Amino acid sequence: MPNTKSPSIEPSQIELDRRAFRHSRKQRSTLVALVSTIAFAVIAFLTLTNAPGWDRVQQSFFNYDTAVKALPHVLDGLLLNLRVLLFSAIGVLVFGLALALLRTLRSPIFTPIRLFVRGYVDLFRGLPLIIVLYLVGFGIPGLRLEFLGRIPAEVLGTVALILTYSAYVAEVFRAGIEAVHPSQRLAARSLGLTYTQTMRLVVLPQALRKVAPPLMNDFVSLQKDVGLISVLGAVDAVRGAQIEVAHFANFTPYVVAGLLFVLLAIPTVRLADYVTNRLAKREQAGALL
């Protein structure tokens, strides 16, 4: 029986030399980066610790005993931030995608809808998030609608986050949809697919691959902004830190809350970098010489 297995393609000597050269450059760059980072860290540390007011700053912002005592309360508040983040992220993705799809409708009969979506995007991309939080958090309860009852502050904060971030995500989705070549739609329609099937099976899968990196960046920003719900009275990590600051007369709980948000964001940042690099390598990949 003949061997039908295709022979493996071996890289040429030129390609091997290129790989070796890139590997050596990468090693040298890594070494230089490591040395420069260590040198900068040492200089920064010595500059801070030798400053005249360092002892007072250390006591006010980096007090270990205060940090240990405040950590449980701040962690309890962080759990609220995580719940708000989860529901906000889901709401932003669903609502943002719906806005993008409505804005890409091409029939003239949908012109009022496209104008409304454009106005919505312009409005909420222009309004600062803190103002949206005030309008939603204090405006909706101010209507005194009995059927709504008493709405928790975290729910109002989630609504404000969804309203604001959906405007940004809608534009990201729209850019991804319009980046798909029109021939993809025409080919799908020529095969008998409806508009909905074309968007669901052909356009959206390609658009999502294109917009994955900016979506991840928006999610990182959302992680930080969930801390703003404290302005509505929700006892999250920031408000918990504020309570501890008043209790201990020390600013260390704010530093603790900030570090917790950083630790929360690092995995998402690394994932965003990984997705971006992977997509870039896939687009730049070429044949072996």
Q: DSSP labels for 121-176?
A: HHHHHHS-HHHHHHHHHHHHHHT--TTT----HHHHHHHHHHHHHHHHHHHHHHHH
On the question of pLDDT at 94 being above 90, the answer is yes
16-42 per-position pLDDT tens digit: 778 888 888 888 888 888 888 898 888
User: Which of 54-63, 101-110, 159-168 holds the top average pLDDT?
Assistant: 159-168
Q: Which fold has domain 65-283?
A: MetI-like fold (1.10.3720)
The Cα 12–Cα 15 span in angstroms is: 5
On the question of pLDDT at 173 being above 60, the answer is yes
The Cα 226–Cα 158 span in angstroms is: 8
* Average of per-residue pLDDT across 134-159: 86
On the question of pLDDT at 232 being above 60, the answer is yes
234-268 per-position pLDDT tens digit: 888 999 999 999 988 899 999 999 999 888 888 87
How far, CA to CA in Å, does 285 sit from each of 157, 188, 246, 282? Answer: 44, 27, 56, 5
* Average of per-residue pLDDT across 75-92: 93
For 43, other C-beta atoms within 10 Å of its C-beta total: 10
On the question of pLDDT at 56 being above 50, the answer is yes
On the question of pLDDT at 127 being above 80, the answer is yes
On the question of pLDDT at 106 being above 90, the answer is no
Q: 90 vs 27, which has greater pLDDT?
A: 90
What pTM, to 2 d.p., does this model score? Answer: 0.78
